[in-house]
Amino acid sequence: MTLIKNQIPLYPLKFKPIYEYKIWGGRNLSQLLSEPLPDDGQIGEAWLLSDRDVHPSRVAEGPLKGLTIAQLMEQYQDHMMGVLARNYEKFPLLLKFLDVHKMLSVQVHPLDRQTDNIPEGGHGKTEAWIVLDAGPESRIYAGLKPGTTEKDLRQALKNESVADFIASFKPKPGEGFFIPGGTVHSLGKDVLVFEIQQNSDITYRLYDWNHIDLKTRKHRALQIEEAISSIDFDQEAEGPVVGKTESTVPVLREKIFDCKYFKLWRIQGELPYIVVNDGKPRILVCVAGRGQLEYKGVNYALEKGEIMLLPAIVGACTFTPSSAVNLFEIALPESDSEVNK
């Protein structure tokens, strides 16, 4: 689809999920998303909103159906980003659902300042998870135990005891975990999470639990030196995040994450509420229930497992649940936006 710049007015935008095979994945995303999974295979990720060149999200409905978010950012930069239009060339967040049946590799993402470990033009990767479902043996590993040194990790790699040096938690649905760049982490054994992160896909595997990729019949490659050099050894263990209640009427509004890369609130309730738009884009992710967003007299449906991006020009809208809903509302930061430029 080719457009003359700004030819079609923007509106609340839904995107088609992009499914990714992972050796640690399962089939549980079919319980969350209405878009059918590929016929077989271990599907570990559903990319909900991505401005990555390899997997660009495409508009699912309306006059702009089929356009990628990259095309929207190019043709509608001011209308998409509002007061942040000059801070971002690409949309700065990558949003996913993860179905981690086996254990994710023990891995590290670099910090923005660790430029030696970041390809030219890229940046670091800070991310966060909200647990949607967990099994009896589910685990989350987040951060080295106090006093752990590089020597300790190298020895642990030799005797396969890396997990002994990482703080671990039994996750519960609703809990949040914040994973700054430089943090050693992993999760798995039947845990379903929503993931929000910087628009980066840099991952260095430190240890992979001796997984065998069923497609290649081989172990996956490790990047031990890059992983170790990306670790922030001063980083403390990252336990569950306690949300801060900001309001209880007309809906329960809890702030879960607030960092220089993203802000995320959990919205729960049955009554209409205003989605504030203060000159910047907002994102809604529905993880339970359904509802409608009203904009210029038109209702835009939002179902369980779907995402909706409200461009800055859309302004404040009213979301009306059809029944009790659980939403994540996401905003970009007030300042420090230049880090993602």
φ, ψ (nearest 5 deg) of residue 263: -125, 140
Closest C-alpha among 58, 39, 38 to residue 47:
58
pLDDT at residue 336 in the model: 44
Please check whether residue 131 is in contact with residue 187, taking contact to mean a CB–CB distance below 8 angstroms: no
pLDDT at residue 3 in the model: 60
The mean pLDDT of the chain is 93
CATH number at residue 307: 2.60.120.10
Residue 6 lies in a domain: no
Section 159-179 average pLDDT: 96
The pLDDT confidence band at residue 15, using thresholds 50, 70 and 90, is: very high
Q: DSSP secondary structure string, 10-79?
A: ---EEB--EEEEEEEEESGGGGT-SSPPPSSS-EEEEEEE-B-SSSB-BB-SSTTTT-BHHHHHHHSHHH
Higher-confidence residue of 138 and 217: namely: 138
Task: Name the 3-class secondary structure at 155.
Answer: helix
Task: Please identify which of the residues 205, 253, 266, 282 carries the catalytic annotation.
Answer: 205
Residue 239 lies in a domain: no
Tell me, yes or no, whether 68 and 130 share the same domain: yes
Tell me, yes or no, whether 128 and 63 share the same domain: yes
pLDDT (tens digit per residue) in 255-271:
999 999 999 999 999 99
18-26 β-sheet, strand order: 18-26, 43-49, 93-100, 191-198, 127-134, 176-179
Please check whether residue 307 is in contact with residue 328, taking contact to mean a CB–CB distance below 8 angstroms: no
**In the block, residue with structure tokens 């980066």:** 200
Section 232-239 average pLDDT: 88
Tell me, yes or no, whether 51 and 177 share the same domain: yes
pLDDT at residue 338 in the model: 40
Residue 225 lies in a domain: yes
pLDDT at residue 265 in the model: 98
Helix residue ranges per DSSP H, 224-283? 224-230
Tell me, yes or no, whether 191 and 80 share the same domain: yes
**Would you state the torsion angle of the CA atoms of residues 281, 289, 140, 244, taken in this order, to the nearest 10 degrees?**
60
| CA distance readout (Å), 101 to 166, 209, 307 | 20, 13, 23
Question: Is the backbone of residue 297 left (phi > 0), alpha (psi -120 to 50) or beta?
Answer: left
Residue 205 a catalytic site member: yes
Determine the structural domain holding residue 305 and report its residue range: 244-340
- Taking only Cα atoms into account, the Rg of the chain, rounded to an integer number of angstroms, comes to 20
Closest C-alpha among 68, 64, 28 to residue 46:
28
pLDDT at residue 7 in the model: 83
Read off the tokens for 126: 């800070």
178, 206, 230 - which closes a domain: 230
The pLDDT confidence band at residue 56, using thresholds 50, 70 and 90, is: very high
Task: Name the 3-class secondary structure at 57.
Answer: coil
Measured at the CA of 317, the angle between CA 315 and CA 321, to 5 degrees, comes to 155
**In the block, residue with structure tokens 């990482």:** 166
Dist. CA 273–CA 314, nearest whole Å? 16
Residue 1 lies in a domain: no
Read off the tokens for 88: 């971002």
Dist. CA 232–CA 102, nearest whole Å? 26
Residue 74 lies in a domain: yes
Tell me, yes or no, whether 184 and 63 share the same domain: yes
pTM exceeds 0.85, yes or no = yes
Number of domains in the chain: 2
Please give the DSSP secondary-structure letter assigned to residue 137: T
